[in-house]
Structure 1
């Protein structure tokens, strides 16, 4: 949140996205206040990407709620957020957290609240998206689980069915994929080219492929070994890939 506050003050149009905030690591009331304040300070530019977490050792190190309860905790925290961002004062008596007659002001600028994207592609994450989310944000930037287009399509079919079962509009969800940006020579274990690697033309083609299957937004990871390298990767992408993908 400190970095996002700096970025919010230094920019005017850039969308601010957490990708993702592991909710069981955080106090829900304090987090709700921080999100609301950042949304106001940024002029309503915040999207809250959230996840349940996956590494047991981190839960233990942070003295977080029980690892096996992380999904239920995440669902309850989202419920708390939505209440605090719409009611003042508010009271809540949940399984993991309780409060009485508290206020979270100023309320977020975006109404009814900043968009909430649910990270992950497990069945539980898809159910959480269908029930609570404004968007689905699977992470493809993991070499062991890259989520190629055919898998995304299968998950989208499941998400559509789950969303309709919740009597919600699937078409209103934002589908945002966290995409890796591989070096040109990076290949899959079977020797084939990984999506989002290779020439600018190939990467632009991958962008069009993901758009065609229903992905609305791609969030690329430009991290390098240094700040200079990261900025260089971003500048290369802006100069060489974006014109091909949008032309």
Structure 2
């Protein structure tokens, strides 16, 4: 099993100094991660709120790739309906060149209405725009003299986007998918699967099985594809630290739910800790990878049993104190990470159509 590091970039304030400090902390984590055995750095894309200070993930990844030359860098995810496909292909191809072919392209439809409104888009039409963008994006990555006429995008003159990416035929594409329709779409296109932090082990098993079946139906070998999930992590024996992790993970889940409902204004900040829904605290406890190293390894093995081949680990989320997150990261890197290569989901992926 591969373990990446998620950059969530949550901030309790939209102040200039606080956001600059958030970036400084992130690049400090990138330097620390270099050479420790992590597979890569993954950054999300969000706009207009302090849920995540990651409005320009490709720029952040360009610098991260310089600071950690042994790590891959990836997006989890770019909100594809907010992008012009030609602009996106130019940027990701350039980043692939600058990193020497270390870039992973994660894409998704997005889910926060206020982000779509801010860019003059309608979230209700995101599926059609997303699928048309995928079609054009793949052509621009692999073909020359492309023209295109669709419902949302038009390329009137033949264009060849330069530079061409280093990885052939293009950087690995990962797609965020929750619904069965989206999972099948990812399989038909041969994409790797990204699953959200809010899915339980049982839900992940269903997603993985559906993906494996859809890949076989598309004439593809599931063993050549991967399933990734994001998890909040707290590695440590301290009960107080774990309780803090539960509450901060719940806060992150609650803010995400508010944004998904469109009820948070532009520039909205995280709700205060004492306002977090107790039900979400219980849910966060179920979704956390938490406890002493042996317990965390056991939880990773459960994810592998559900078909997960990669975990993108978030060590700092909500208002998690920097020192607490750092202790958790160091313990994880020293006493968990060396053993994760022995955790395999391969048997499930190569199996038949039965339950994992």
Same fold (TM over 0.5): yes
| Residue number in structure 2 paired with 1:78 | 134
The number of equivalent residue pairs is 241
The correspondence for 2:298, drawn from 205, 217, 223, is: 205
Distance in 1, matches of 2:89 and 2:313, equals 26
1:239 and 2:334 correspond: yes
| Within-5 A mapping of 1:135-154 | 135-140=192-197, 146-154=198-206
**Contact 2:95–2:103 under 8 Å retained in 1:** yes
Cα deviation code 1:183-223 (max 9, x no counterpart): 52339638975441122211111112212332111110122
Shift of 1:172: 2.0
1:184 and 2:242 correspond: yes
Distance in 2, matches of 1:239 and 1:189, equals 28
Cα deviation code 1:214-247 (max 9, x no counterpart): 2111110122546555444422321232245457
**Contact 2:200–2:286 under 8 Å retained in 1:** no
1:174 and 2:226 correspond: yes
SS at match of 1:76: helix
Cα deviation code 1:23-63 (max 9, x no counterpart): 11111110110000000110100111111011222211111
Distance in 2, matches of 1:76 and 1:191, equals 35
1:157 and 2:209 correspond: yes
| Residue number in structure 2 paired with 1:219 | 312
SS at match of 1:181: strand
| Within-5 A mapping of 1:18-167 | 18-64=75-121, 66-99=122-155, 100-140=157-197, 146-167=198-219
Distance in 1, matches of 2:150 and 2:286, equals 48
Distance in 2, matches of 1:118 and 1:97, equals 21
Q: How well do the aligned residues superpose, as a CA RMSD in angstroms?
A: 2.4
Shift of 1:173: 1.5
Long gaps (5+) in structure 2: 1-57, 235-240, 248-280, 343-356
SS at match of 1:184: helix
Change (3 A) 1:174 1:56: same
Change (3 A) 1:211 1:55: same
**Contact 2:194–2:227 under 8 Å retained in 1:** yes
Moved more, 231-240 or 184-193: 184-193
